[in-house]
Amino acid sequence: MTRCILFFCMGNICRSPTAEGVMRAKLAAAGLDVEVDSAGTHGYHVGDPPDGRSQAHALRRGYDLSPLRARQLQAEDFQRFDLVLAMDADNLAYATRLCPPAQRHRLKLLMNYAPQAGKHHVPDPYYGGEAGFEEVLDLVETACDGLVAYLRAR
């Protein structure tokens, strides 16, 4: 049974905290009791809140990311979390090198839960414009809906 889910990207200030916030809301709406967290493969922003643009776009859709703080992916995360979901293939590869072989079955791409989206990764909006943050939300919402359906079916 899936009790704990970790989302991760590079810095834990755009994509993964967005996924954490969206998933928390969708789990609450579905009445599912699953712990959710997010992290970054790199420690550039440890302790920082999500990017202001991510917060603003998420809030427009009803997701409050303001309480979240960036943290770095830790070795113990692979033991603690049942699913460890990457936003893209580069961060998945990085995490795979850190992950003990016995826990690698827990590592997946978030977009595996949204095959209908036709995308394998959630693109990093950090250096782009407003549309990138909206695309992240669109993809994350679709994938989180698929993840909720997966959890319900189990």
Q: In this predicted structure, what is the pLDDT of residue 2?
A: 78
CB count, 10 Å around CB of 25? 18
Concerning whether 15 is annotated as a catalytic residue, the answer is yes
- Where exactly are the structural domains of the chain? 4-153
**For 35-49, how does the pLDDT look when each residue is reduced to its tens digit (9 = 90+)?**
999 999 999 999 999
Query: 14, 15, 53, 99: which one is catalytic?
Result: 15
- 145 as an active site residue: the answer is no
Average pLDDT value for residue range 47-53: 98
What is the SS3 assignment for 86? strand
Rounded to a whole number of angstroms, the CA Rg of the chain reads 14
Going by pLDDT thresholds of 50, 70 and 90, the confidence category of residue 1 is: confident
Helix (H, G, I), strand (E, B) or coil at 82: coil
> Could you tell me the pTM of the whole model?
0.97
> Largest Cα–Cα distance in the chain?
41
Whether 48 is catalytic is: no
Catalytically annotated residue among 37, 51, 124, 144: 124
Assign 54 a pLDDT band (cuts: 50, 70, 90): very high
CB atoms < 10 A from the CB of 107, how many? 20
Which one of the listed residues 9, 14, 99, 144 is annotated catalytic? 9
d(CA 21, CA 67) in angstroms, rounded, equals 10
- Token output for 25: 């809301």
Quick one: CATH architecture of 4-153?
Answer: 3-Layer(aba) Sandwich (3.40)
